[in-house]
Amino acid sequence: MIEYIKGILSELNPTEAVVEAAGVGYQIAITLPGYSALVGSEEKEVKLFITEVIREDAHELYGFTVRAERQLFELLMTVSGVGASTARMIMSAFSAEELRVLIATGNSKAMAKVKGLGPKTAQRIIVDLKDKAIKLDLGGDPTELPMAFDDGADSGVKAEAVSALTMLGFAAAASGKAVDKILKNDPAMKVEAVIREALKML
């Protein structure tokens, strides 16, 4: 089992990072808060805590900059009906601290807005994880996702957001429409914020 990968961050986008360690490039799935934490670290050494998800047709690595975030991700996957893709979707729609607050306060309505969850699964997450999530030490993680993406051009933000959404499994056409609508209301919105809003619409 891989505990963490420490190496040079050679590639980064809102859904994936490639970390080169000992001459091997590891493709690692990340969340939006993870992307935000890694922005600016390209070609520098980084450390990602890893969860391996092994299926018959795939061997996937999910990486987190904070160990407690990985614990929360793994807790989500213990809930019936929540797989790795859904867990990553949830942790991209909310920061770890926001998600912990939603679970602790029983706010299934807000959580159910995440694509593919639904009210029953959201309620199941709260029932199953309430006590466990409260105990996690997130190290004072901010409740607001930093907006570190520098590209101020609407076309650049749109392309990055649509690309990330399609990599998460959404249709390109639907993603484009959602992103257009969001940017029409707020042309200055940064890419992470656009993706998070789109996750609640698609």
Average pLDDT over residues 155-159: 73
Average pLDDT over residues 137-149: 40
Mean pLDDT of all residues belonging to the chain: 84
pLDDT at 98: 83
Q: What is the CATH number of domain 4-64?
A: 2.40.50.140
Q: What is the CATH number of domain 67-134?
A: 1.10.150.20
> Who wins on pLDDT, 160 or 37?
37
Alpha helices per DSSP H over the chain: 32-38, 67-77, 84-93, 96-105, 108-111, 118-134, 154-167, 172-185, 191-201
Q: Is the pLDDT of residue 155 over 60?
A: no
Q: Which two tokens stand for residue 185?
A: 């209301």
Q: Where are the domains of the chain?
A: 4-64, 67-134, 154-201
pTM for the predicted model, two decimal places: 0.71
Helix (H) or strand (E) holding 49: strand 45-55
User: Which of the given ranges, 128-137, 160-169, 178-187, has the highest pLDDT on average?
Assistant: 178-187
Work out the percent of the chain whose per-residue pLDDT is above 70.
91
Residue 138: pLDDT band (50, 70, 90) is low
Tell me: the pLDDT tens digits for 110-127? 888 787 788 899 999 999
Nearest to 32 by CA among 88, 82, 84: 88
Name the CATH topology of 154-201: Helicase, Ruva Protein; domain 3 (1.10.8)
Tell me: the pLDDT tens digits for 46-70? 999 999 999 888 899 999 999 989 9
Average pLDDT over residues 93-101: 84
CB 91 within 8 A of CB 102: no
Average pLDDT over residues 168-182: 83
Residue 24: pLDDT band (50, 70, 90) is very high
Distance between terminal CA atoms of the chain? 35
